[in-house]
Amino acid sequence: MEALLKDIYAVVGVTGAFVCGRDGRVLAKLMPENSDAAQVELAARVVGQTFQALDTTGHSVEDVDLAYDKGRLLLKNLQGGVLAIVCRRNVNVPLLNLTASATVLKLAAELQSVTLQASTAVTDAQPSTVTGVPPVIAEMEQEIYRIVDAGKHYRLRLRAMGTIATWLVCPNYSALLKPPENKTIELCAFQNDGYTLELLSEQLGYRNNREYNQFFNNRRLNFTDPKRDLNILIYLDNLEMYHKLDLIPFLTQEELVLPVTALLLTRLQIVEMTEPTLREMCVLVLEHDLGVGSEKGKIDVSYMMRLCADDWGWFKTVSMNLDRLANFAAMRLEPSEREIVGERTRRLKRSMDTTPKSLRWLARARLGETARWYDTPQVYRPSATHPGMPIG
C-alpha cells in the first residue's frame, strides 16, 4: 500500500498520508522522518473508530475535510478502512482529489484483498456452516460487492439485477433455482455515468468491449475479465428488450439490488420464455407478497398496474406470462408453493383487468394480436476480433 501512497505524497502541499482499518490499526503510512509515530497511531485510532461509529448508525460518509490552524486533514472512506491525507491548509484540494480518486480505488481493492485473505484463512481453519450456495453464485455475489463499493468513490449508483439478483433476494426459495451456465453479472446505472463506468471497469481490471457498446449505442455496456471468464453487463437508464422498462425510478432507492418489482418486470416483459426464467419468476413471487407502493420486500402492484393500464403491449405480455407462470407452478412446485403462486398470480391478473385503461391502451387494444405488440430484441454477434463475448 505504501507504493500507492507515493502518488498522493507527490502532490504539492501534502505532508503525509496513512491508511488505517476500522479498528484503528495503521495498515500503511508515508510520513516525514520527524513525524511522531505515537501521534499517527492515535490519529488512526480516532479516525477508524469514528468511521466505524458512522457505519453503525447508518450515517456512512465518503469524504471528510478537517481544517485546523496550520494544516488540513482529508479523510477518504475505503469501505473497510480510511485513507488519511495530511496537508497544508492552502493545498489545492480539487487537484488533490483528482489525484486521489484513482489511488482510492486501488487502495480499496487492495484492502478488500487483504481482508478476503484473512477471511479465507479463518474459513480454512474453521469449516463453514453455510451450505447450499453454489460456488459460481458466491463468486459473483462477492464481485458485485467489490464493483458497487468501488463505484461509491465515483458517486455511482449501481444496482444488481438479473439472475444473481434473484438469488440474493430470495434466500428461502433459492433451492428452486439452477446456477447460471455463464458467469454474467447484470447491473444498471444512470446513462450520464457511462464514461465513469468505463474508467471504473478499467481500474478494476476489466476489458472494455467497445464493439458491443457501440452496437447498443452505449445504452448497454459490456466489460469482461477473460482470466476469470466473467462478464459484466450494465443497462443504462432503461432495459430495452421486448418492451422498454424505465429503471431510473428504481435506481434512486438505496439498495444493492433493484427492488423486487423491477426484478419481476424484467422477467415478465420476455415474450420468448424459457424454463430458467419461469423458475426465477416463481421464486420471486413465492418469496414476496403483493403490496401497494414502494413497501420494502413486496411486489408493488400499483406500479405494475399503472404500467400495464397505459400500454396494451405490456398488458398483453404480462398477462400471458402470468398464465405461463401459474401453469408452470402447477406442474413443477409442491402443493403449498403451487397455491401461493396461483393465488398471487390470480390477484395480479384481477387487478390488471379491473384497473381503468388509458386512451392509448384502448386505441391499441382495437388492433389486438393482428399487429406485433412487442419489439424484437437486438442481438449482438461478436466479430472475429472479440471472440467469446456474450450475445444478447
The per-residue pLDDT for range 331-367, each reduced to its tens digit, is 999 999 999 999 999 999 999 999 999 999 999 999 9
**Pairing between strand 207-208 and 220-225?**
antiparallel
Q: What does the pLDDT read at residue 307?
A: 96
Q: What does the pLDDT read at residue 50?
A: 82
How far is the C-alpha of 352 from the C-alpha of 345, rounded, in Å? 10
When pLDDT is averaged across residues 225-240 and rounded to a whole number, the result is: 94
State in Å, rounded, how far the first CA of the chain is from the last one: 40
Residue 116 has pLDDT above 70, yes or no: no
Residue 127 has pLDDT above 70, yes or no: no
Q: What does the pLDDT read at residue 386?
A: 54
Report the mean per-residue pLDDT for the chain.
86
Is the separation of the CB atoms in 174 and 167 below 8 Å? yes
Superfamily for the 2-103 domain: Dynein light chain 2a, cytoplasmic (3.30.450.30)
Q: What does the pLDDT read at residue 318?
A: 97
Domain-by-domain residue ranges, the chain? 2-103, 135-370
Is residue 253 very low, low, confident or very high in pLDDT (cuts 50, 70, 90)? confident
How far is the C-alpha of 184 from the C-alpha of 159, rounded, in Å? 14
Helix (H) / strand (E) containing 236? strand 230-236
pTM, two decimal places: 0.67
Is residue 199 very low, low, confident or very high in pLDDT (cuts 50, 70, 90)? very high
Secondary structure (3-state) at 115: helix
Convert the pLDDT of each residue in 140-155 to its tens digit: 999 999 999 889 888 8
